[in-house]
Structure 1
Amino acid sequence: MHSAASAIESLTQLSKSPSVSRLAAAFADAGYELALVGGPVRDAFLGHEVHDLDFTTNALPDDIIRVVEPIAEAHWDIGRDFGTIGAQIAGEKVEITTYRADQYDGKTRKPVVAFGDSLEEDLTRRDFRVNAMAVRLPELVLVDPSGGVEDLMAGILRAPKSAEVSFTEDPLRMMRAARFSSQLGFQLDEETEWAMTEFASSIENISAERVNEELCKLLLTDKPRAGIELLVRTGIASYVLPEIPALRLEVDEHHHHKDVYEHSLTVLEQAIDLEKERHPGEPADLTLRLAALLHDIGKPATRQLESGGAVSFHHHDLVGAKLSVKRMKALRFDKETTQNVARLIELHLRFFGYSDAAWSDSAVRRYARDAGDLLERLHILTRADVTTRNKRKADRLSFAYDDLENRIKELSEAEEMAAVRPDLNGEEIMAILGIPAGREVGEAYNYLLNVRLDEGPIGADLARERLLAWWANR
């Protein structure tokens, strides 16, 4: 955490930025209060770069629009009924929300919206003390009614009110607790974690879309493991993502296998490290992280205890792919992400065995072709899936995958494998065979595509001969 002096300096510089200074002056001139609130204030104290400027005011939504209209390039309703107006000022997007004094019915997340007239009251209804701080503008006066600065210094997450009241009002805050534990590296106090455990089932009152949003934010943090472990430990994961706690398989005294739950979290961590190493500065890859976390969820359903103490998980890749589709549909993930995660899970075992027997060029081509646009993600997932403590085995697998990547690259450069096509197209096949468009053309095309994958380019003349021979022997 930065010193208070450093935080004040950061907030002072922020208040002088064109967007903040114009906004503060406009509200002051109109006779309204304005404060920078929540995340930006927290991040200034933590020494983090400040993003997503959120403001709160005693002005009502129509009044907010009236104040920002003369100074904004654009403004829009984010949720007028909930008091939030968005605007772009000096090229920066901001959100301004009327003080809230909501009441909850205890059954749904939807509050009975009530606008308040006090900044302190607004802050005490927020999720955690570290997010319940504000800086009045333009005076630059810190308002911290619940002790958020002290919690920042201690690295603790707890609610401004009691955790029981907070989570009963809005169960989604339990998911936010998991996200912030990872994002900030903070621990929950005892009461807060108890309340998460006690009220875990109330997360079912929250829409799948909102749960999805918080789960994705958690997975996109630099270190999501702590948040996932918290969700599992408190029982919330049993409602949100039950396949993860199910990975904690019992191990009897005669059959031994690695802890699949711990292995999956390690694979996630290693995938993130590789993602950053191979693609520095690029946005976090949600698809890769979901695939890493879920890649072994087929194991509980496929576990077989073999004679001699061995444990097998035959076809857990295929079973896991199907389970991932079911879960991601329930969580309202989009179709493309769902399909890509399932495909990565389905393919994640293909590589193993490469180090024992060299693949033919045909097998290498098929590996790359089957992965398609997911090839780089598959490279990372497969490498991350090696969690053995046996250094000799880990090195052997790493060297083998280095070799496979090099062979894919060489074949791709030599044959432009990314755009592999048969040596004859569909129209040429129809002309040579004298057949109309239909199923048989597709079969012929696939035959020539397999020839191409097995043998590389053979040229149009030889492809014509092979096509006619195949057609005659069908």
Structure 2
Amino acid sequence: MQSVAESLDRLGTLAKTPTVDRLARAFAAAGYELSLVGGPVRDALLGRDVHDLDFTTDARPDDILGVVRPIADAVWDIGRAFGTIGARFGDDTVEITTYRSDSYDGATRKPEVQFGDTLDGDLLRRDFTVNALALRVPEVRLVDPSGGVEDLLARRITTPSSPEVSFGDDPLRMMRAARFAAQLGFVVDEETREAMADMAGRIGIVSAERVRDELTKLLQADDPRPGVELLVDSGLADHVLPEVPALRLEVDEHHHHKDVYQHSLTVLDQAIGYEKERHPGTPPDLVLRIAALLHDIGKPATRRFEPGGAVSFYHHDVVGAKLAKKRLTALRFDKATIDSVARLIELHLRFFGYSDAHWTDSAVRRYVRDAGGELERLHMLTRADVTTRNRRKADRLGFAYDDLEQRIAELKAQEELDAVRPDLDGEQVMRLLGLKPGREVGQALAFLLELRLDEGPLGEEEATRRLLAWWESR
């Protein structure tokens, strides 16, 4: 955290930005309180960039609309029943919410919406002390009823009320604790961790979509590992992503294998490193990160103890791809994400055959074809999957993958490998063989594609000759 003077300067600067200043003056003129609240205040104090502008006020929703409509570029009231009005001022999108003092029935995480009358009361019902901060405007006064600044200085995550009450009100806050541990690099205090462990089963009342959204934000953090570890250690992962804690396979003195859970976390770390190295400044690659975390989830189901103390995990790539697809579907991820993650997991072992025996051009073409649009991610995942401490082995695998990528680049230049297709299309096949659309046309195209993969481009004349000869041989 910055020095106190620097932090106060940041708050003063934030309060004077055009959008904040305009809203502050308008609400004051109408006789209402207005405060920036939560994330923007926390981030300003930490010296982080402020992106969202969230406000709270004693004005009721209709009164908020009355103040905002004349001065905003656009206004929407989709959250009006919950006291929230959205508005746009130039490039800034803001949300303004009436003070809340909600109550919960304990059966769901949906509160009975009740508007409050005080800023302190609103802040004390929030998730964590570091988010229970407000900046009163236009007077620029920091309001901190629960010691949030002290927790910021200590880099600590805890709740304004007792964690049992807070998590009982909204169990999703337990996942948020893990997310903030990842995003902020803070440590969750012991009492809060104990409450998470005791109440982990309560996450079951939260919708899959909300769990997915929190998990997504966690994995997109700059360093998601502490958050993942907290999910596992608290028992939350047993309910939302059970395949990850299942990776903690027992290792006995007779059968030795790598700690699959720690290996997977290391692969996640290394995949993020490759992502940042190859695509600096781009948004986090959620597909790559999920695939890295889940790439070995097929191992518990496929573990076999072999004679001599060896352990095998045959076909864990295929089994893992199926398990990942099932879990991500349950979490309501979109089909494109599910398919991409499953494909990466299914293919993540393919390269290791290359490191053992030199591939033909045909094998390289098939590798590219099977990876399709996931080739770049597969490069990063495969490299990240090398976590051996044996430097000679690591170097050998690294050099082998360098060689494979070089060969792919050369073949691409020669053959436009990104779009490997038969030398003849379906219309040409039907015309040459006198066929109508159907299974036989597909078989002919599959034959031509195999030729293309095995031998490279043949040209239309040679492809026609080979097709006719194949057809005649049938």
Show the counterpart of 1:311.
311
Q: Is 2:199 the partner of 1:199?
A: yes
SS of alignment partner, residue 54 of structure 2: strand
Would the aligned equivalents of 1:86 and 1:96 in 2 still touch at CA under 8 Å?
A: yes
- Write out aligned runs for 1:236-247 (5 A): 236-247=236-247
Give the deviation of 1:78 after TM superposition. 4.0
Alignment of 1:62-461 (within 5 A): 62-461=62-461
Deviations 1:353-390 (A, max 9, x none): 21221100010011011111100000000000000000
SS of residue matched to 1:355? helix
| Mean CA deviation greater in 56-65 or 114-123 | 56-65
CA distance in 2, matches of 1:64, 1:187: 37
1:329 maps to a residue whose letter is T
- Which runs of at least 4 in structure 1 moved beyond 2 Å after TM superposition? none
**In the TM superposition, what whole-angstrom CA distance separates every residue of 1:154-179 from its partner, at most 9, and x where no partner exists?**
11110000011101111000000000
Unpaired stretches in structure 2, ≥5 consecutive residues: none
Kindly state the Cα deviation for residue 36 of structure 1 after the two structures are TM-superposed: 0.4
Q: For the Cα contact (< 8 Å) 1:200–1:234, is it kept in 2?
A: yes
- Matched residue pairs, number? 474
One-letter amino acid matched to 2:135? V
Q: Which string of whole-angstrom CA distances, capped at 9 and with x for unpartnered residues, describes residues 124-152 of structure 1?
A: 00000000000000000000000000000
Q: Distance in 1 between matches of 2:297 and 2:346?
A: 11
Q: Partners of 2:54 and 2:375 in 1: how far apart?
A: 40
Distance 1:305 1:276 in 2: 38
SS in 2 for 1:265: helix
Q: Indicate whether 1:466 and 2:466 are aligned.
A: yes
**Displacement, 1:349?**
0.3
Deviations 1:192-246 (A, max 9, x none): 0010011010000111010001000000001111011111111110000000000
Q: Conserved in 2, the CA contact under 8 Å of 1:58 and 1:99? A: yes
Farther off after superposition, 75-84 or 463-472: 75-84
Give the secondary-structure state (helix, strand or coil) at the position aligned to 1:353. helix
Describe the SS at the equivalent of 2:356: coil
Task: Kindly provide the amino acid, as one letter, of the partner of residue 407 in structure 2.
Answer: R
Q: Deviation of residue 45 (structure 1)? A: 1.1
Identity, in percent, stands at 70
Between the aligned partners of 2:98 and 2:244, the Cα distance in structure 1 is 40
C-alpha distance in 2 between matches for 1:142 and 1:256: 56
| Cα displacement (A) at 1:413 | 1.2
- Contact 1:423 1:463 (8 Å CA) reproduced: yes
Question: For the residues of structure 1 that align with 2:454 and 2:64, how far apart are their CA atoms?
Answer: 67
Q: RMSD across aligned C-alpha pairs, in angstroms?
A: 0.8
TM-superposed CA distance for 1:278, in Å, is 0.5
Q: Report the alpha carbon displacement of residue 90 of structure 1 after superposing the two structures with TM.
A: 2.9
Report the equivalent of 1:61: 61
CA contact (8 A) 1:362 1:454 kept: yes
Q: TM-score normalized by structure 1? A: 0.99
Take 1:188 and 1:429, find their aligned partners in 2: how far apart are those partners? Answer: 65
Counterpart contact for 1:40–1:51, Cα < 8 Å: yes
Return the letter of the residue paired with 2:344: L
The 2-side partners of 1:414 and 1:83 are apart by 62
User: Structure 1, residues 425-468: CA drift from partner, whole Å, max 9, x if none?
Assistant: 11111111111111111111111111111111111111011001
Counterpart secondary structure, 1:354: helix
Q: 1:472 offset after TM fit, Å?
A: 1.3
Displacement after TM superposition at 1:13 (Å): 1.5
The aligned residue for residue 34 of structure 1 is: 34
Aligned counterparts of 1:315 and 1:355: Cα–Cα separation in 2: 18
- What's the CA shift string for 1:309-333, capped at 9, x where partnerless? 0000000000000000111111111
Shift of 1:9: 1.2
SS at match of 1:462: helix
Q: Distance in 1 between matches of 2:351 and 2:296?
A: 15
Amino acid at match of 2:226: A
The aligned residue for residue 52 of structure 1 is 52
Letter in 1 for 2:369: R
- CA drift of 1:347 comes to 0.4
Please state how far the C-alpha of 1:86 moved relative to its aligned partner.
1.0
Larger CA deviation: 431-440 vs 119-128: 431-440
